[in-house]
A and B are shown apart, each in its own frame.
Chain A
Amino acid sequence: MAAYLIRRLIQSALILLGVSFITFFLLYVLPADPVRQIAGRSATPQTVANIRAQLGLDQPFIVQYGRYLAGLFHGDMGRSYLQKTDVATLIMARLPASLLLMVAGIGAELVIGLTMGVVAALWRGKALDNGLMMTSFVTVSAPQFVVALLLLYVFAVQLGWFPIGGYGTPAHLVLPALTLGILGSGWYARMMRSSMVEVLRADFVRTARAKGLTRARVIMRHALPNAILPIIAMIGIDIGIFMGGIVVVEGVFGWPGIGQLAWQAIQRVDIPIIMGVTLVSAFAIVLGNLLADLVAPLIDPRIRIR
């Protein structure tokens, strides 16, 4: 177990290093000059050259990357080119909001998706099953921006049940979490349905029925816990997809998370912020996968860690 953990941690560190290298390289070759963005449209060539030298952007790629990494190892993510503020400060100011939305969004995904999946499996082949699977297909393919605006318009503007965007109270959280929940539920619904169908066919379920247990008890005590196992591993992978969706949803609902920060930084070629947000997101994804792998044997003894 310890050896496995160490190996996985080293792997994770290498992945993060790789992500940092690739992102840094892509930003380096990008045909857009951050110095131009800082210097503004009226700058003289001399001003541009000065700023380039001060930021070390006149150095070869490997020197720039080396400096960035060295800073990172000292816990310094650099300063935003345009905001002139520590990147760590900017990210830390926004990270709690993103984490909260992530937890709530994944919770909503699971509640909606698993319920749909179980119901569909129990009524397999019936109209209800077909309807639910069709719905899951629609939610997976629906554009995030449209769903977010639709929910906002109906439940906040028309019905007035929730605030029109913003952050701070549980009421503010409902619509963005629900948007993410609806959009992500389709995958879980389909996974859960097939997993449940398989388990319902299994011998131990038949045995349980033969013992004379009620249908409800068989489903709740025997089928569901077994069917849910494969889903756990999926959550870890899902975090990656989630990070992408969060950018749009944060935008529409005015949710002050790191997605908004990343979007604005990309528009303005603010490289330290883009690097910082990418690394923090990559860290979350790596951590999610690691946890999913570590948790799996705890719930399913058949999976062994070696």
Chain B
Amino acid sequence: MKKLLASTALIAAFSLPAFAQETLDPNATPGGNITVTYKDDVATLDPAIGYDWQNWSMIKSLFDGLMDYEPGTTTLRPGLAESYEISDDGLTFTFHLRPGVKFHNGRDMVAEDVKYSLNRVTNPETQSPGAGFFGAIAGYDAVADGSADSLEGVTVVDPATVEIKLSRPDATFLHVMALNFASVVPREAVDAANGDFGKMPIGTGAFKLGDWTIGQKLIFEKNADYWRAGLPYLDTVTFEVGQEPIVALLRLQNGEVDVPGDGIPPAKFQEVMGDPAQAARVVEGGQLQTGYITLNVTTPPMDDVNVRKAINMAINKDRITQLINGRAVPANQPLPPSMPGYTEDYAGYAYDVEAAKALLAEAGLADGFETELYVMNTDPNPRIAQAIQQDLAAIGVNASIQSLAQANVIEAGGAGTAPMIWSGGMAWIADFPDPSNFFGPILGCAGAEEGGWNWSKFCNAEIDAEATAADSMIDPADPARMQMWSDVYMKVMEEAPWVPVFNEQRYTMKSARMGGADALYVDPVSIPVNYDYVYVTE
């Protein structure tokens, strides 16, 4: 691991015409506006705060971090950093900043801004939901507990160079630097906004914020000085909020909307897919998501692994997948298939009612038992819970359904009072495309604390140690590391704290005039679309 130079960007820097050819779509015509709708308000555009699927892609287009992904893929590429080096021990990252990058306010972006941005996101007063991602940076603990206001590990070497020292090796660190939370923001704009930076964002991104009428719409305008020459193609993107998904679909059919941000409403899915003209404008793709049932390993009789295995065998995943019109593929392990580290040749617990009954009998529960299944109260989740209830009844397990608002289910899960939870509506979607992201908070000991997202309260010191070892390797894509992660999840499945049920597919609908590769419409990082790269054809 000597010098991990960012190949594409570096080659591009020396040969600019090739660069333009490589990244620009020859069919693209610059200009035009697209309209994207959402039901909910845009809560914030502050990259340190925004953490939902609606503002994630919007913030991506307004801001840049040191690292970034190839559009439509999960492949890392340098962003505001032109290149970087990693020390042999994997503890020091040196980033060389791209020259000539300007913030929307016209000022040049420099190394001091990177340092400020990392200090800001980790400062407890910012209340960033992403602060914990930066835990590996040296000095993080002191900032997090308030005893320091600057990260010791971040050093400005010169205006174009930042050095970041880690306190422990972290294979995912480059992914972390590609998260929105690591976006570079200008201090003067944050100070001037006086706490309202989320409504007055200033970044280096392909778009800048134009008008924002709260509760109605906001407009992104092309950043003419964007450092990726030729991008974005669109002049403006208009986001209209407060639109029911079903109304958004009607407006799309009427030619008023280009992308319904909340997707195709479940009730209309079959109608849309049954009409060839409409189905042709739907792009299907995988997403880094798994829907699962958590089995609380601290609640008898689910503290018995045989009982948990029996429940795994009792669930008819194909039927549940049909319930949501086949918008998912049945799962057999925590990782989704498109995630590196997925175990291809694992069969999982096959659906087998008799075997499940036998296991229960072995556990001394031939007559079954009573339990509770918590579920979020929005469609289709209660229907899925009913299917689970019926499957459980077939092996004599009598589960009563607790259908609650999302926040209440999360609360019960964190407190450990819920014996079983169907994760639908709150299921884990990866923050970044690395297998480690499916472990710590949801299957590791750290997440099993009171209030954590590990609702199974599953905590196995041996598996945790192996996970830590895997993340201490320097190269995130090292096949040996992927094998370790595969092992980790196979051992988890031996203990069966979850019933992995399905991996949801993504369906993005677009208007006929929208152009750009299909991959941009199921971009794993920018949902629903990568605004920087799409264009209109008329």
Residues of A whose CB lies within 8 Å of any CB of B are 30-34, 36-48, 50-51, 54, 79, 82-85, 89-90, 93-94, 97, 149, 152-153, 156-157, 164-167, 250-257, 260-261, 264, 266-269
Most buried by A among B43, B49, B144, B412: B43
The count of residues in chain B whose C-beta lies closer than 8 Å to any C-beta of chain A is 58
In the complex, 26 of the A-B residue pairs with CB atoms within 8 angstroms, ordered by the A residue number, are A30-B407, A31-B408, A31-B412, A33-B451, A39-B129, A40-B129, A42-B440, A42-B453, A43-B131, A44-B135, A44-B446, A50-B124, A51-B127, A54-B124, A84-B195, A93-B213, A94-B214, A97-B215, A157-B254, A164-B247, A251-B244, A252-B247, A254-B240, A254-B247, A264-B41, A266-B405
Contacts of B125 in A (CB 8 A): 54
Contacts of A94 in B (CB 8 A): 214-215
Quick one: CB contact mask for B66-95 with A, threshold 8 Å, 1 for yes?
A: 000000000000000000000000000000
When the two chains form their complex, are residues A46 and B216 in contact, meaning their CB atoms are under 8 A apart? no
Contacts of A255 in B (CB 8 A): 242
A97 to B242, CA, bound (A): 13
Distance in angstroms from B344 CB to nearest chain A CB is 28
When the two chains form their complex, are residues A45 and B449 in contact, meaning their CB atoms are under 8 A apart? yes
When the two chains form their complex, are residues A93 and B407 in contact, meaning their CB atoms are under 8 A apart? no
B100 on the A face (CB < 8 A)? no
When the two chains form their complex, are residues A157 and B250 in contact, meaning their CB atoms are under 8 A apart? yes
When the two chains form their complex, are residues A164 and B251 in contact, meaning their CB atoms are under 8 A apart? yes
B133 on the A face (CB < 8 A)? yes
B145 on the A face (CB < 8 A)? yes
Q: Which among A50, A51, A152 is the interface contact of B247 at CB below 8 angstroms?
A: A152
Contacts of A256 in B (CB 8 A): 213-216, 241-242
When the two chains form their complex, are residues A83 and B44 in contact, meaning their CB atoms are under 8 A apart? yes
Q: Do A264 and B40 form a contact, CB below 8 Å, given A44-B135, A90-B214? A: yes
Residues of B whose CB lies within 8 Å of any CB of A are 39-41, 43-44, 46, 49, 51, 124-125, 127, 129-133, 135, 144-146, 195-196, 198-199, 213-216, 240-244, 246-247, 250-251, 253-254, 256, 405-408, 410-412, 414, 428, 431, 440-441, 446, 449-453
Contacts of B253 in A (CB 8 A): 157
Contacts of A54 in B (CB 8 A): 124-125, 127
Distance in angstroms from A91 CB to nearest chain B CB is 10
A205 to B146, CA, bound (A): 81
Distance in angstroms from A35 CB to nearest chain B CB is 9
Given A36-B407, A36-B451, list of 17 further CB < 8 A pairs?
Answer: A32-B408, A32-B411, A33-B410, A33-B411, A33-B451, A36-B411, A36-B414, A41-B441, A46-B144, A47-B132, A50-B124, A54-B127, A165-B244, A165-B251, A254-B244, A256-B215, A266-B405
A82 to B254, CA, bound (A): 34
A131 to B156, CA, bound (A): 80
When the two chains form their complex, are residues A32 and B247 in contact, meaning their CB atoms are under 8 A apart? no
Nearest-CB residue, chain B, relative to A260 = B242
When the two chains form their complex, are residues B451 and A261 in contact, meaning their CB atoms are under 8 A apart? no
When the two chains form their complex, are residues A47 and B43 in contact, meaning their CB atoms are under 8 A apart? no
A51 to B146, CA, bound (A): 12
Q: Which among A32, A51, A79, A153 is the interface contact of B250 at CB below 8 angstroms?
A: A153
Nearest-CB residue, chain A, relative to B449 = A45
When the two chains form their complex, are residues B250 and A152 in contact, meaning their CB atoms are under 8 A apart? yes
When the two chains form their complex, are residues A31 and B127 in contact, meaning their CB atoms are under 8 A apart? no
A37 to B452, CA, bound (A): 12
Q: Do A37 and B407 form a contact, CB below 8 Å, given A43-B131, A83-B44, A164-B251? A: yes
Distance in angstroms from B476 CB to nearest chain A CB is 18
Q: Do A40 and B130 form a contact, CB below 8 Å, given A32-B410, A47-B124, A269-B407? A: yes
Interface of A is mostly: helix
Contacts of A268 in B (CB 8 A): 407
Distance in angstroms from B391 CB to nearest chain A CB is 27
Q: Which among B44, B146, B216, B412 is the interface contact of A84 at CB below 8 angstroms?
A: B44
Contacts of A46 in B (CB 8 A): 144-145
When the two chains form their complex, are residues B240 and A42 in contact, meaning their CB atoms are under 8 A apart? no
When the two chains form their complex, are residues B411 and A93 in contact, meaning their CB atoms are under 8 A apart? no
Nearest-CB residue, chain A, relative to B253 = A157
When the two chains form their complex, are residues A38 and B215 in contact, meaning their CB atoms are under 8 A apart? no
When the two chains form their complex, are residues B199 and A254 in contact, meaning their CB atoms are under 8 A apart? no
Distance in angstroms from A303 CB to nearest chain B CB is 40
Contacts of A93 in B (CB 8 A): 213-215
Nearest-CB residue, chain B, relative to A257 = B215
A149 to B247, CA, bound (A): 8
Q: Which among A47, A167, A261 is the interface contact of B131 at CB below 8 angstroms?
A: A47
Closest 3 A/B residue pairs (Cβ): A40-B129, A32-B407, A256-B215
Contacts of B51 in A (CB 8 A): 40
When the two chains form their complex, are residues A164 and B254 in contact, meaning their CB atoms are under 8 A apart? yes
Contacts of A79 in B (CB 8 A): 195
Contacts of B408 in A (CB 8 A): 30-32
A149 to B133, CA, bound (A): 44
Contacts of A269 in B (CB 8 A): 407
Contacts of B453 in A (CB 8 A): 41-42
When the two chains form their complex, are residues A82 and B135 in contact, meaning their CB atoms are under 8 A apart? no
Contacts of A261 in B (CB 8 A): 41, 215
A157 to B249, CA, bound (A): 11
Contacts of A85 in B (CB 8 A): 196, 198-199
Contacts of B450 in A (CB 8 A): 45
Q: Which among B127, B145, B243 is the interface contact of A165 at CB below 8 angstroms?
A: B243
When the two chains form their complex, are residues A42 and B431 in contact, meaning their CB atoms are under 8 A apart? yes
When the two chains form their complex, are residues B132 and A42 in contact, meaning their CB atoms are under 8 A apart? yes
When the two chains form their complex, are residues A82 and B43 in contact, meaning their CB atoms are under 8 A apart? yes
Distance in angstroms from B93 CB to nearest chain A CB is 21
Q: Do A44 and B132 form a contact, CB below 8 Å, given A54-B125, A164-B254, A267-B406? A: yes
When the two chains form their complex, are residues B405 and A32 in contact, meaning their CB atoms are under 8 A apart? yes
Contacts of A153 in B (CB 8 A): 250
When the two chains form their complex, are residues A167 and B216 in contact, meaning their CB atoms are under 8 A apart? yes
A250 to B256, CA, bound (A): 19
Contacts of A252 in B (CB 8 A): 244, 247
Q: Do A33 and B431 form a contact, CB below 8 Å, given A48-B451, A256-B215? A: no
Contacts of A266 in B (CB 8 A): 405
Distance in angstroms from A246 CB to nearest chain B CB is 13
Nearest-CB residue, chain A, relative to B415 = A31
When the two chains form their complex, are residues A164 and B196 in contact, meaning their CB atoms are under 8 A apart? no
A165 to B251, CA, bound (A): 9
Contacts of A82 in B (CB 8 A): 43-44
Contacts of A164 in B (CB 8 A): 247, 250-251, 254, 256
Contacts of A34 in B (CB 8 A): 407
A267 to B39, CA, bound (A): 13
Contacts of A254 in B (CB 8 A): 240, 242-244, 247
Contacts of A44 in B (CB 8 A): 132, 135, 144, 446
A170 to B376, CA, bound (A): 39
A89 to B200, CA, bound (A): 14
Nearest-CB residue, chain B, relative to A261 = B215
Distance in angstroms from A143 CB to nearest chain B CB is 15
